[in-house]
């Protein structure tokens, strides 16, 4: 009875946000032990009248049992201010600031801003009427060439077959690049490729050189566009898919974010200017047979996926910096609400503990991972929280989009707004691996699908390749990550079919992270045979039969087992329980009290083994004391995690004062090539994989590593 009563108390003590997360995913959010209670807001949907209504309402946890299967969702495209959270307002929301009105069909429209941001009814601003008409611009501007390129059915078939011409080039600042080209008439970039900057839209001409102003130090000088940004902009301007795997949160991440923000605005402004210019021509022309194919089936052109709300804040701030005229304040709708929901409130962040610099760089600001927001841009003004079908840019987390996309069995779902995405950006892809990779894959599967409804589109303005359902072959995908991982590379291999090809960075680490280990420690790397990257049975059997028996003796106490995959973590935990082995376990879902007990019992030697998940280390970075024997069940995804965990051995020695002989064993297969090279160095990793020996020894803590 006591346990049951305690469990009920734990559930009732959760906040509404925690209950919602627990109800949807069966688990609490792993980062915050104490989530700040932020009041939920009832949001109101505003759509153009010829768009269908998609309205999700929060459901209380005390709903009847037959309604528990429905996922509680925020409305997809809310843009109104706050209203009290009661049943009357849910049925019939009140007007907010005179912006909202309910029409006869029951839909909510934003009369104040909708007309100003509507592409169908607006005309170009003064000075942009003839932009893009000159022949010289058509030749130079890759945007026009990319949009107007026509593919044949034979070429589309060759793209889908996956056959590509691959070359390898090396450029300054970008390093070694692997280039793949599916069609011969769109060749890959050359060895002596100098990345020229793309044609910049007139609206951005004045500010694009201030690309780095958003993260300039207070009172410091604004740095010019860096060489890395120039190379990336030139490469992105070719409209090839790009994977840049050197975007460290401490160094390159800020430069990369500013570069792709400029590319996004440049693309959106050129596309909108083209539509507005053709609107003016249609208004003046008398030729009814003249066609202007300049649109997709739906308006959203860009999808930006970021892991945390703080990333959205930084992206929008960069947009404002690039668009704001000098000496003037740009009109940004709903800016106050945006700062409240995406900024960091005082006391929300965890206490300032001693953590590595890369930890503070990743987990800065608002680290909520469930969000989505639409952004529309028009005439040097920006609207935040615009309805998705009236937005140019959608910024979201994979989790935030998945709750809208839904599953095949769900009735309330929508993915038509992703049908005409022309530019996909996946920023901090390595962080998605630590969240839930399946959410990202689910979003990728729903990109550029044939829409179920027309959504009031004028089909005479829709591009031919959109009507042919070939939008996926014209979509540019930009992936940025801090590491090189097969799952990230798989995005471009399986989910990207750009007719212009791909360019992927090939990171080669000459000096591995093992050189950062300060403890005098023998590192034993043992190789096992595996049939595929996903063959986890071979790893488990090798560990149970070859490794674990060596540590069953009581002499080999204080054994720490580092497990990268949570599925492997659960499998090992069940095996140790079944064999009645003394162990403690710590994962990203462990309560704070459970972590404290596990650390205490392990340090005192009351528990012989400790199972430790990589995601817990990613989110917490605790120092575990008392480790004498270290086992890496799999190599860490982040190479610096290897040295961080190895250096934990010294923490227990400083307090104990005695001399202890340490051991370290790491398991790997030939499919762990990237992780092994990042830890031991590329040359050593190649020798280890090609050698007939399956056991290799390194010794750290001396003047020379062996």
Tell me the per-residue pLDDT of 57-88, one tens digit each, with 9 for 90 and over: 333 344 444 444 443 334 333 433 333 343 33
Q: At what angle do helices 309-323 and 252-284 cross, to 10 degrees?
A: 60
What percent of the chain is predicted at pLDDT more than 70? Answer: 76
Higher-pLDDT residue of 249 and 344 is 249
Domain presence at residue 686: yes
Q: Are residues 564 and 459 in the same domain?
A: no
Q: Are residues 499 and 545 in the same domain?
A: no
What is the predicted pLDDT for the residue at 599?
94
Q: Are residues 578 and 492 in the same domain?
A: no
With contact defined as beta carbons under 8 Å apart, do 561 and 588 qualify?
no
Query: Which of these, 470, 489, 418, 509, lies nearest to 241 by C-alpha position?
Result: 489
Domain presence at residue 111: no
pLDDT tens, 447-469?
999 998 888 888 989 999 999 99
- Given 457, 481, 506, the domain boundary residue is 506
What is the predicted pLDDT for the residue at 648?
93
Mean pLDDT of 626-633: 94
In CATH, what number is assigned to the domain containing residue 219? 3.40.50.300
What is the predicted pLDDT for the residue at 508?
77
Range of weakest confidence among 114-128, 180-194, 568-582, 671-685: 114-128
Residue 38 reports pLDDT greater than 60? no
Most confident by average pLDDT, 16-25, 416-425, 526-535: 416-425
Token pair for 298? 């739906």
With contact defined as beta carbons under 8 Å apart, do 47 and 387 qualify?
yes
Beta-sheet pairing, 521-527 with 583-586 = unpaired
- Given 459, 489, 506, the domain boundary residue is 506
Q: Are residues 502 and 517 in the same domain?
A: no
Range of weakest confidence among 110-124, 148-162, 536-550, 634-648: 110-124
What is the predicted pLDDT for the residue at 600?
94
What is the predicted pLDDT for the residue at 83?
36
Beta-sheet pairing, 393-396 with 381-384 = unpaired
Q: What is the pLDDT of the chain when averaged over all its residues?
A: 81
- CA–CA distances in Å: residue 281 to residues 125, 276, 286, 290, 379: 14, 9, 9, 10, 18
What is the predicted pLDDT for the residue at 102?
38
Residue 397 reports pLDDT greater than 90? yes
- Given 506, 541, 566, the domain boundary residue is 506
Domain presence at residue 62: no
Helices (H), 449-588: 464-467, 471-474, 486-495, 536-542, 566-578
Residue 32 reports pLDDT greater than 60? no
Which residue in the block uniquely carries the two structure tokens 């910049």? 200
Distance CA 93, CA 82 (A): 10
Here the contacts of 28-34 (C-beta below 8 Å, separation 24 or greater) are: 28/589, 29/369, 30/588, 30/589, 30/615, 30/616, 30/619, 31/363, 31/367, 31/619, 32/350, 33/591, 33/592
Number of domains in the chain: 2
Higher-pLDDT residue of 72 and 543 is 543
Residue 43 reports pLDDT greater than 80? no
Rounded to 5°, angle at Cα 296 from 123 and 289: 65
Mean pLDDT of 571-587: 94
Domain presence at residue 705: no
Q: Are residues 434 and 517 in the same domain?
A: no
Beta carbons within 10 angstroms of residue 197's beta carbon: 14
Q: Are residues 636 and 691 in the same domain?
A: yes
Q: Are residues 446 and 526 in the same domain?
A: no
Residue 553 reports pLDDT greater than 90? no
Residue 529 reports pLDDT greater than 60? yes
What is the predicted pLDDT for the residue at 27?
56
Domain presence at residue 444: yes
What is the predicted pLDDT for the residue at 642?
96
**Beta bridge pairs of residue 78:** 45
Supply the range of the domain harboring residue 404. Answer: 152-345+355-506
Q: Are residues 498 and 597 in the same domain?
A: no
Mean pLDDT of 323-336: 87
Residue 33 reports pLDDT greater than 70? no
Q: Are residues 614 and 572 in the same domain?
A: yes
Domain presence at residue 396: yes
Rounded to 5°, angle at Cα 333 from 329 and 334: 120
Using pLDDT thresholds of 50, 70 and 90, give the confidence band for residue 169.
confident
Q: Are residues 667 and 584 in the same domain?
A: yes
Q: Are residues 525 and 494 in the same domain?
A: no
With contact defined as beta carbons under 8 Å apart, do 214 and 475 qualify?
no
Q: Are residues 554 and 428 in the same domain?
A: no
DSSP state of 65: G
Residues 6+ apart with CB under 8 A from 278: 292, 294, 461
pLDDT tens, 598-621?
999 999 989 999 999 999 999 999
Helix/strand/coil for 620: helix
Residue 183 reports pLDDT greater than 50? yes
Residue 279 reports pLDDT greater than 50? yes
pLDDT tens, 94-130?
333 335 443 333 334 455 677 777 776 777 766 555 5
Domain presence at residue 295: yes
Distance CA 244, CA 483 (A): 9
What is the predicted pLDDT for the residue at 166?
87
């Amino acid at each position: 009875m006591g346990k049951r009563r305690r469990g009920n108390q734990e559930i009732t003590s959760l906040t509404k946000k925690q209950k919602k997360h627990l109800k949807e995913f069966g688990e609490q959010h792993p980062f915050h032990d104490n989530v700040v209670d932020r009041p939920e807001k009832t949001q109101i949907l505003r759509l153009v009248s010829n768009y269908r209504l998609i309205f999700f309402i929060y459901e209380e946890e005390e709903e009847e049992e037959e309604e528990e299967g429905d996922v509680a969702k925020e409305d997809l495209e809310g843009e109104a201010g706050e209203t009290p959270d009661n049943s009357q307002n849910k049925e019939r929301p009140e007007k907010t600031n005179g912006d909202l009105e309910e029409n006869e069909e029951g839909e909510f429209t934003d009369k104040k801003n909708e007309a100003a941001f509507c592409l169908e009814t607006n005309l170009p601003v003064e000075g942009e009427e003839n932009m893009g008409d000159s022949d010289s611009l058509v030749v130079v501007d890759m945007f026009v060439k990319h949009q107007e390129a026509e593919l044949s059915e034979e070429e589309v078939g060759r793209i889908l077959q996956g056959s590509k011409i691959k070359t390898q080039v090396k450029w300054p600042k970008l390093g070694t690049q692997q280039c793949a080209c599916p069609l011969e008439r769109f060749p890959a970039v050359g060895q002596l490729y100098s990345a020229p900057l793309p044609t910049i839209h007139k609206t951005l001409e004045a500010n694009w050189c201030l690309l780095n102003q958003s993260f300039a130090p207070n009172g410091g000088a604004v740095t010019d566009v860096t060489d890395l940004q120039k190379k990336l902009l030139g490469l992105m301007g070719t409209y090839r898919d790009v994977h840049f795997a050197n975007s460290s949160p401490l160094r390159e991440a800020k430069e990369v974010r500013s570069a792709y923000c400029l590319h996004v605005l440049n693309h959106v402004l050129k596309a909108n200017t083209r539509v507005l210019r053709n609107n003016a021509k249609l208004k003046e022309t008398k030729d009814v047979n003249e066609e202007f194919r300049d649109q997709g089936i739906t308006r959203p052109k860009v999808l930006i996926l970021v892991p945390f709300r703080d990333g959205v804040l930084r992206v929008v701030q960069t947009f404002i910096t690039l668009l704001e005229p000098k000496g003037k304040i740009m009109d940004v709708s709903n800016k106050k609400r945006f700062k409240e929901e995406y900024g960091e409130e005082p006391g929300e962040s965890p206490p300032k503990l001693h953590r590595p610099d890369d930890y503070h760089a990743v987990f800065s600001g608002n680290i909520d991972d469930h969000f989505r927001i639409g952004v529309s841009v028009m005439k040097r003004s920006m609207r935040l929280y615009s309805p998705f079908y009236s937005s140019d840019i959608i910024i979201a987390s994979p989790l935030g989009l998945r709750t809208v996309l839904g599953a095949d069995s769900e009735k309330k779902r929508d993915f038509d707004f992703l049908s005409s995405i022309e530019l996909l950006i996946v920023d901090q892809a390595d962080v998605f691996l630590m969240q839930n990779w399946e959410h990202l894959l689910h979003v990728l599967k729903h990109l550029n699908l044939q829409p179920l409804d027309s959504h009031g589109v004028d089909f005479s303005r829709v591009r031919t390749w959109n009507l042919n359902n070939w939008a996926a072959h014209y979509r540019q995908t930009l992936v940025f990550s801090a590491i090189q991982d097969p799952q990230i590379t798989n995005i471009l291999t399986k989910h990207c079919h750009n007719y212009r090809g791909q360019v992927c960075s090939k990171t080669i680490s000459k000096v591995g992270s093992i050189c950062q280990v300060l403890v005098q420690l023998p590192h034993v790397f043992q190789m096992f045979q595996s049939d595929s990257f996903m063959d986890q049975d071979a790893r488990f059997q090798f560990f149970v039969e070859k490794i674990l028996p060596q540590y069953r003796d009581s002499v080999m106490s204080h054994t720490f087992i580092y497990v990268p995959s949570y599925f492997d973590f659960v499998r090992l935990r069940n095996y140790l329980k079944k064999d009645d082995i003394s162990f403690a376990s710590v994962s990203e879902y462990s309560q704070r009290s459970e972590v404290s007990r596990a650390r205490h019992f392990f340090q005192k030697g009351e528990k012989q083994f400790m199972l430790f998940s990589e995601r817990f280390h990613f989110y917490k970075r605790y120092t575990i004391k008392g480790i004498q024997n270290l086992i890496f069940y799999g190599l860490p995804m982040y190479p610096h995690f290897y040295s961080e965990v190895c250096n934990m051995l010294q923490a227990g020695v400083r307090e104990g004062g005695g001399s202890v002989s340490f051991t370290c064993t790491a398991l790997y297969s030939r499919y762990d090539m990237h992780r092994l090279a990042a830890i031991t160095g590329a040359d050593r990793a190649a020798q280890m994989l090609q050698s007939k020996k399956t056991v290799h020894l390194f010794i750290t803590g001396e003047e020379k590593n062996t």
